[in-house]
Amino acid sequence: MIGSRVFTVAIHAHSSEAKVDFRSDYSSLAYEVLDPPQHVLEGIRAYVDTFGLAYACFDFAVGSGPEGSETFWFLEANCRGQHGWLEQQTSLPMSAAIAELFIDGDCA
């Protein structure tokens, strides 16, 4: 989350090594831009509002829940998380969103 903008990227691992730790096999990864479910989006917004954050990278594990629904497990929020490699893979305008925070003065 950058300011009020949410950029959501699913990382799909296609090797046994990457399924344990995606950093072990970048060449087997695929990226998918998606919209998070409303309850996840509300939780993310509540988190950054509670802690007064202008920027945070959220990590979730996603799997099958009851009756085939997707379940999101919150792992962490990183206020210094890296985004450049995801921007490069997806063309999402993350760096521009950060620049807008500085221009607008919303990154106190």
Q: Which amino acid is at 61?
A: A
Q: Where along the chain do its domains lie?
A: 9-104
Pairing mode, strands 70-78 and 57-64? antiparallel
Say what the pLDDT of residue 108 is. Answer: 54
Say what the pLDDT of residue 107 is. Answer: 61
| Residue range 57-107, pLDDT digits in tens | 999 999 887 777 789 999 999 988 888 999 999 999 999 999 998 888 766
CATH (residue range 9-104): 3.30.470
User: What is the arithmetic mean of pLDDT over 6-14?
Assistant: 95
Residues 6 or more apart from 16 whose CB is under 8 A from it? Answer: none
User: Could you tell me the sign of the dihedral formed by the alpha carbons of 16, 20, 25, 31, in that order?
Assistant: positive
Please say if the pLDDT value at position 21 is more than 60: yes
| Residue range 59-70, pLDDT digits in tens | 999 988 777 778
Q: Which amino acid is at 78?
A: N
| Residue range 26-51, pLDDT digits in tens | 999 999 999 999 999 999 999 999 99
pTM (whole model) above 0.75: yes
Say what the pLDDT of residue 67 is. Answer: 78
Q: How many helices (H) and strands (E) does the chain have?
A: 4, 4
